[in-house]
Amino acid sequence: MSAPEEKAKRHKKRMQARKKIVDEGVAKALEERGVVVLYTGDGKGKTTAAVGTVARALGYGYKVVVAQFIKGVWECGEKYLLTQLPEQRYRLEWHEMGTDFTWETQDYEADKAAARALWEKALAALRDESVYLVVLDELTYALNFHWLEKREVLEAIQGRPRGQTVIITGRGAKQYLRDIADTISEMRPVKHAFNDGIAARKGIEW
Ligand code: ATP
Ligand code: MG
């Protein structure tokens, strides 16, 4: 057998072994239900991973509700794209805290009221069987700042319709969120351009 033939044979064997492992895993995964996905950590990629999943679900015609627990109006390209999709075909609701309050104003009660108003919208989605995916973007802040009541949030997520998936994003997710999550990815900042003095880039960072 020639060297390239040997190599091809070895590759085929490796692929067969890998396929066996994958097939065994697929055979074991029999439960059909929505999951809780948590994207946390200090590295870049949490919100963009959530929004990528929004595109994925919408692509199949599923109904999606996004709630962004960020102070003030957060500019981001994905919002401008996704909220302009034709409504007859793509079922998306995009909610924000929508206050005029920015990091500068520091009005705790006003922030809390805005977060609670947004939570009511998220809660409606978490009770709605027709919603396939709920994204609670930056929810960790709303909890860590005590804008929302932890128990109420956990109960609503755990009591959601069986087929519904929830994605939570934000830095500093506490253990109680890790406990209810089925899938957790921790974004680890190996390097970030910002720390080398490179300005945040439109269409890349927001
Ligand atoms: P992205 O929206 O790019 O997926 P993220 O959701 O993981 O980022 P956040 O903690 O929500 O990150 O950060 C808010 C802003 O800071 C975004 O513009 C994001 O791109 C940027 N960012 C994220 N991680 C870092 C980092 N390690 N250093 C500097 N800026 C960051
Ligand atoms: Mg984010």
Render pLDDT for 184-193 as a digit per residue (tens, 0 to 9).
999 999 999 8
What would the mean pLDDT of 152-170 be, rounded to a whole number?
A: 98
Collapsing DSSP to helix, strand or coil, 99 comes out as coil
Least confident of 52-56, 58-62, 104-108, 176-180: 104-108
Nearest-angstrom CA–CA distance, 58 and 63: 7
Q: Give me ligand 1 centre to Cα 138, in Å.
A: 11
The pTM score is 0.90
Q: What percent of the chain has pLDDT over 90?
A: 78
**Domain 35-189 - what CATH class?**
alpha beta
Query: In this model, does residue 61 exceed pLDDT 90?
Result: yes
Pocket test residue of 37, 38, 40, 47 for ligand 1, highest count of atoms within 8 A of CB: 47
pLDDT digits (tens, 9 = 90+) for 103-146: 556 788 888 999 999 999 999 999 999 999 999 999 999 999 99
Q: Give me ligand 1 centre to Cα 166, in Å.
A: 20
β-sheet bridge partners, residue 185: 39
Ligand nearest to the CA of 43: 1
Domain boundaries, the chain: 35-189
Quick check: 33 and 162 in contact, CB under 8 A?
yes
* Cα Dmax for the chain: 76
What would the mean pLDDT of 66-88 be, rounded to a whole number?
A: 90
| pLDDT score for 24 | 87
Pocket test residue of 66, 205, 206 for ligand 1, highest count of atoms within 8 A of CB: 205
Nearest partner of 203 among 90, 77, 74, judged by Cα:
77
Nearest-angstrom CA–CA distance, 183 and 42: 17
